Structure 1
Amino acid sequence: MTETTPLLKVTDLVKHYAVRGGVLRRRVGTVHAVDGVSFTVGVGETLGMVGESGCGKSTVARAILRLVEPTSGSIQLNGLDITHLGKADLREHRRSMQIIFQDPFASLNPRMTAGDIVGEPLSVHGLAKGEKKRERVAELFDQVGLRSDQMQNYPHQFSGGQRQRICIARALSLGPDLIVCDEPVSALDVSIQAQVINLLIDLQRRHGFSYLFIAHDLAVVAHISHRVAVMYLGRIVEIAEKAELFANPRHPYTQALLASVPVADPKKKSLKPMIDGDVPSPINPPSGCAFHTRCRYVMDRCKVDTPVLAEAGTKHQVACWLNEGTGRVTIE
C-alpha cells in the first residue's frame, strides 16, 4: 500500500437532499447530509468512520458506491473517476466495490435460498452458472464459516450472525477490491460481533481487499481499523492513524467521543462528559464550525469561519481552529 496510489480517493464529496412542502411540493429547504468530505483508502487498508447517528456516515457509503447520486465532488476507484459514469459503464466497475449492510435480515430476499442469494451476483455478471456456480457458492460458504448443506435454507432459518455471514459471502462473490461495511455488527449480540469482526479481518488478510468500515462503537473500530476518520454533521473533523487518534485526540468532538466510552476498571478515573445538547439540524447547520454550538472551547472565530482539515502531526489531520495554536487540547 502506498499513499500515492490509493485504491479509493474521495474529494469534496457533497450530498444534499431537497426538502419539499406545500401543495405544489416546492423546495423549502435543504438537508446537508454530506458537506465536503475528502479521504483516501489504501490497498489492503481499513479506514474506520465514526460519529453520532445522523452525521452522514451511511450517506457517504452509499454515495461512494453510487447507490445515491452525489450532489458534487469526485470519487476515484483504482485511479478512475466513477462519479459521472453512466449505468452501462458503471456496471463494469460494480464488481470492484461491494457493501455489507447493517441489518442482515432486511438485506436478504426472504423468497430466495441462501445459495441463490450468494450466487446471484455470479449470474448477473455472467461469471459462472450450473455446477461451476454451485461449487463457487459452496466455496464461499466455507470461507465465511457456513456449511454447504445450508445453501438450500432460507434466510429465516439462520441466526442473525449466520445471516450476516451470508451477506459477507455475497459481497465476496465477485472478488471486490473495496468492501463498504455499513455498521455490519451493530444488530448482532456482543459475542457474535467479535466472531464476525475476526472473520472480516481474516478474509482481508487472505484476499487483500480494503474496507471502509462504518460504526458507532469505538471498541470495534479500534479492533479492525488501520486509520480512523471522525465525522460530525456531514464533515470529517479529524482523521489519523488508529493508535495516534486514540492516544492523542486533537478535536474536542473526538475527545468527547472517547470520554463517553464507559471505563470497566473501577480504579481507573473516568473522563468527564465534554459536550451537552443535541446535534444541530442538518437542514439548518450552524455557520462556521458546525461543532461550535456544543464546544466548551468555542472562540468568536469558530462561529464565523469554517475550519478545514490541516496537519496536526504525522499522518494526523484536524479541522479545528485550536490546531493553529498549540495543536492540543487537554482533556480534563
Structure 2
Amino acid sequence: MTTLLEVQDLTKHYPVRQGLLLAKQVGTVRAVDGVSFRIERGETLAIVGESGCGKSTTARLVLRLIEPTAGTVRFDGQEVSGAALRTLRRRVQVVFQDPYASLNPRLRVADTIAEPMEVHGIGTPESRAARVKELLGLVGLAPFHAQRYPHEFSGGQRQRIGIARALSVQPELIICDEPVSALDVSIQAQVVNLLKHLQRRFGLSYLFIAHDLAVVHHMADRVAVMYLGQIVESAAKQAVFANPRHPYTRALLAAIPQPDPRRRGLVKPIGGDVPSPMNPPPGCRFHTRCPHARPRCKAEMPTLREIEPGHTVACHFAEVLPPHVAAAEDGIAPVAAQRLALYAAARARRMEGRERPEI
C-alpha cells in the first residue's frame, strides 16, 4: 500500500487573553500538541480518546478548516497549502457528527448533494441530477427523497444524505467525525456497514473518529489513542485490543461494559479527572492518573517510540508493565456482534418484503 495522508508534528495552540481589548495573553490551550500519523490507501485509521483530547481538532486541522500553529499535512506526497487547498477540498471530504446540524434546512436534498459538484465545476445540470439519483441509491435512499427537505428525514436518513454529499465529488479520503454517535444502536450498525461497503466498492480511505470502541473494533484497520492533545499509542487494531501497551489504552478498554458478570472487576476503571490543556502536567501527561507512574514519569516526557513492528507507544515503562488482563476483547465482541445481527435481521426482512426499509 502507498501512503495517502501523512501528518507530521501537527500542533494547534489557542492563546488565552484577558484585560482591556483582550490585549494580554495569560496562557495557551494546547489543543493538539505534536501529532503525527499516516493513512494508507484503502485503510481506516481510527482515533480514539476521551472528550476534549483533540480528536476533532485534529480532523479540522487536516481539512484546513482551522490553521495549524505548526506541523505539516501531506496528501498524496504534496504538502497541503496555498493553491493545493482547492484540490484537497475535492479529494478529501467529511461526514460530521450531528446529522441535524450538518445539513442546510433551506436546501432540498438534491441541492445539498449537488452543491459540491457545482462548486468544483463537475458536470452539467443534467449529469449532476443523474448523479444525485445514483448517490441516493448507493446510500439506501429512493429517488423521490431528492425533493424533500432535511426536516422530513430521521437521523439515520440524514446521515446517509451527508455520506452521499461526501461521495458526490469522488473523494479518496473521507474524515468521519463520530458519524454514528448521535444515532440509535440499530441505525449505527446500518451506517457503519454502509461505510464499509462503500470503502470496498470505491477503495476509500477513512480517518474515523469515535468514542465507541465497539464501532472502532468493527471499522478500523489501525487505531491511534489520543490523550490531552498527543498520541500515546498507535498500532494495528488487533494489537491495541488484545495487547495494549500504554496504561491509558488499558484504562479505555477497561471502561467497556462487560456482559459476563464473572469477569467484571478484573480491570479497575481509570480514576481522576483529565488535566487542563491550558496547564498540562510536566513529564508524562497521564502520570497524574496512571497506576504505574514512577518518579521519571513526572520529570521526563516520553517520546512515541516503536516497541514492536508497527506498534508505537509513548510510555517509559511499556516493556515492563504487568500483563494486560484481556477482558476487553471478550467484552467488545458480543456488542459488535449484536449490532451486526440487528443489521442482518433488518436486511433479511427487507429482502423478504415483509417490511418497509428501515433507513
| TM-score of the alignment, normalized to the shorter chain, above 0.5 | yes
**Match in the other structure for 2:238:** 243
Question: Counterparts in 2 of 1:281-292, with a 5 A limit?
Answer: 281-292=276-287
**Match in the other structure for 1:11:** 8
Question: Counterparts in 2 of 1:57-206, with a 5 A limit?
Answer: 57-82=55-80, 85-86=81-82, 88-206=83-201
1:129, distance to aligned residue in structure 2 (A): 2.7
CA deviations on 1:119-178 (whole Å, 9 max, x unpaired) are 000101010232111000110111000111100000000000000000000100111111
1:27, distance to aligned residue in structure 2 (A): 1.5
Rounded Cα–Cα distance in structure 1 between residues aligned with 2:246 and 2:156:
35
The aligned amino acid for 2:47 is M
The aligned amino acid for 1:67 is L
**Match in the other structure for 2:322:** 329
1:90, distance to aligned residue in structure 2 (A): 1.1
**Match in the other structure for 1:54:** 52
Rounded Cα–Cα distance in structure 2 between residues aligned with 1:286 and 1:209:
39
Where 1:12 maps in the other structure, the secondary structure is strand
Residues matched between the structures, number:
324
Moved more, 270-279 or 221-230: 270-279
1:271, distance to aligned residue in structure 2 (A): 3.0
Rounded Cα–Cα distance in structure 2 between residues aligned with 1:105 and 1:329:
45
| Identical aligned residues as a percent | 60
Rounded Cα–Cα distance in structure 2 between residues aligned with 1:89 and 1:43:
19
**Match in the other structure for 2:332:** none
1:275, distance to aligned residue in structure 2 (A): 2.3
1:331, distance to aligned residue in structure 2 (A): 3.9
Q: RMSD in angstroms over aligned alpha carbons?
A: 1.1
Rounded Cα–Cα distance in structure 1 between residues aligned with 2:196 and 2:265:
30
Q: Please tell me whether the aligned partners of residues 107 and 149 of structure 2 are also in contact (alpha carbons under 8 angstroms).
A: yes
Rounded Cα–Cα distance in structure 1 between residues aligned with 2:169 and 2:95:
13
Rounded Cα–Cα distance in structure 2 between residues aligned with 1:205 and 1:156:
31
The aligned amino acid for 2:90 is R
The aligned amino acid for 1:119 is A
The aligned amino acid for 1:257 is L
Where 1:199 maps in the other structure, the secondary structure is helix
Structure 2: which 5+ residue stretches go unaligned?
Answer: 326-359
Where 1:95 maps in the other structure, the secondary structure is helix
Rounded Cα–Cα distance in structure 1 between residues aligned with 2:144 and 2:134:
12
Where 2:140 maps in the other structure, the secondary structure is coil
Where 1:312 maps in the other structure, the secondary structure is strand
Q: Which one has a larger percent helix, Structure 1 or Structure 2?
A: 2
Among 21, 24, 27, the residue aligned to 2:25: 27
1:274, distance to aligned residue in structure 2 (A): 4.0
The aligned amino acid for 2:214 is A
